[in-house]
Chains A and B, each alone.
Chain A
Amino acid sequence: MHYVVLGAGPAGVVAAETLRTADRAGTITLVGGEPEPPYSRMAIPYFLTGKIPAEGTHLRKAPGYYDTLGIGFRQGTAEGLDTDAKRIAFADGSHLHYDRLLIATGARPVRPPIAGLERKAVHHCWTLEDARNIVTLAEPGSHVVLMGAGFIGCIVLEALAMRGVNLTVVEMGDRMVPRMMNPTAGTMIRKWCETKGVRVLTSTRIKSLQSVAAEKSRGIFGFLRRKEAPRDSDTIDVELDTGEMLAAHLVVVCAGVKPNTDFLEGSGIRTDGGILVDRYMRTSANDVYAAGDVARGYDFSTKGHDVHAIQPTASEHGRIAALNMAGHNVQYNGSLQMNVLDTLGLISSSFGLWDGVEGGEAVEVVDHDAYRYLCLQFKDDVLVGGTAIGMTQHIGCLRGLIQAGTRLGPWKERLRRDPMRIMDAYVAHSQMA
């Protein structure tokens, strides 16, 4: 049996490891699309701040790790897939035959249709290569404009600010992390970032990127559109829809991602904003499975299928897919959307249906001065979602309560009076019941 795992991010690596445990004899080939050992994108921000060297991002650290497990690792960019002949075609002209295939090719950043985004000194922050480029440009004091303050944008924001750059973030939504935080929480994070010296522009769009050299032709009118004079190192002028011009040495684009499914064209594998998979992680083609950011997996909360684009979901997908590939009939109960974010020391998290459900009930406590917030979302007496800011102790219990579907009974009323007792409620149910 030859298993091929296409993609060497967390979904692919966990899948390859699980395949090895589940099938001692099978041949396993793990294919990465970048000239790096398998690594974790999530660790990139810590490479940017200098907390770890590039090797610190590698998913597994032991020398010869994949060899020892009998997992063959190679590089290659898939360009086509023939599901009848069970053959993958690579960009270098080579082919690979599989008996069972896992597609774990993840996602890639989108480049919005804005004039000038192809300029030098404009980078995404998605791969190790992007990170190396950013490191050389994001010098202390340099002007950096960050496009997008979604989840990934905010993580990158923290890393850039910690490098000591002069940072402006431009977000077209009306608040920071609009898809993870409600207005109260998003506004609190914004205020915090501003007190830490980051300029945050929401409900603002970047219209174009131009060359700073063009400044002269704009004369006094160009000058009037600036809040801050360009530095010698600035090469790019960022034009905002407010009319303002921001000079920058580096522009980082975090404007969303899309799944890497282009090579599936003509393969017959069904996609719709991500590869469609059933609860066994099977795609519409025989012996082809999908996992991670590329797949629309089963969502525990919504009972629908969605791309979560988070690390814990990717590794869970990888494990479930691999077990099924190796012949263990394992149905996935679905993953929970959850995120934890550190914006310059303010820690926030959100879980499940943090925005609530119809007919549900929300209880919240907010302390603007202390930057603390907790919002719990209930359906009847079951927790279905939550948002927390400034809380780092026992926070995983939110996941536990949501996924166990715990009926809180009398604790619901207590939590209504004091939501902060959520961990008490958890311990009471798990230890005293």
Chain B
Amino acid sequence: MQRSLNIDPGKCTGCRQCEMACSYENEKVFNPSKSRIRVFTFDAEARFVPYTCTQCAEAWCMRACPVDAIRINLGTGAKEIHNDVCVGCKVCTIACPFGTVNYNADTGKVMKCDLCEGDPACAKACPTAAITYVDANWTGLDKMRMWAAKTDSAMTAN
């Protein structure tokens, strides 16, 4: 059974442990700007929203890549960037309508969530269980999926 990241913004206190953990896990530095998950802050509403790639079924990033550098990990279902193949063209960063692929000028490549091979560091680091890694079928990802359906540029079946 594949699992996915379930994010419950209501439980997020804005401590940014997830950003730290992600950046350390993937880039070996404690630098939130290198994190693939980002916590958005809405001061007016006093709300925090952790946000990252949902490994969407449409995989716009993967379909736009000119050199086959984004592939599906058959174990986790994650769409993973293969750094040895990526040429840094950034087309995936404009193709993903969720804004969850970012360019990293230090490496000349792009970064996105890869579910840490099935053991996501952000979920482990979150002290309030705002981020959990759960069975894909019963997560609260529905909201995001609905949004994805709205965005689907590609087609309406009839």
Residues of A at the B interface (CB closer than 8 Å) are 10, 14, 40, 42-43, 46, 51-52, 56-61, 300, 311-312, 315-316, 319-320, 323, 328-336, 338-340, 342, 345, 347, 349, 351, 392-400, 403-404, 423-424, 426-428, 430-433
Contacts and interface: CB of A to CB of B under 8 A. Distances in A.
Contacts of A345: 105
Contacts of B64: 311-312, 315
A392 B93 contact: yes
Contact of B91 (A323, A340, A428): A340
B153 A311 contact: no
Contact of A427 (B49, B85, B95, B156): B49
B85 A56 contact: yes
Interface string B17-41: 0000000000000000000001010
Contact of B102 (A46, A333, A392): A392
Given A40-B67, A340-B90, A404-B151, 5 more contacts: A59-B68, A312-B91, A393-B99, A399-B94, A427-B40
12 contacts: A59-B67, A60-B68, A312-B63, A316-B154, A319-B63, A338-B94, A340-B90, A392-B102, A403-B153, A427-B51, A431-B144, A432-B45
B102 A349 contact: no
Interface of B: 9, 38, 40, 42, 45, 47, 49, 51, 60, 63-64, 66-68, 85, 87-91, 93-103, 105, 143-144, 147, 150-158
Contact of A404 (B40, B89, B97, B158): B97
Contacts of B47: 432
A319 B59 CA distance: 13
A318 to B, nearest CB: 9
A403 B99 contact: no
A333 B88 CA distance: 29
Given A396-B101, A432-B47, A40 B66 contact: yes
A124 B76 CA distance: 43
B84 to A, nearest CB: 10
Contact of A333 (B66, B90, B101, B153): B153
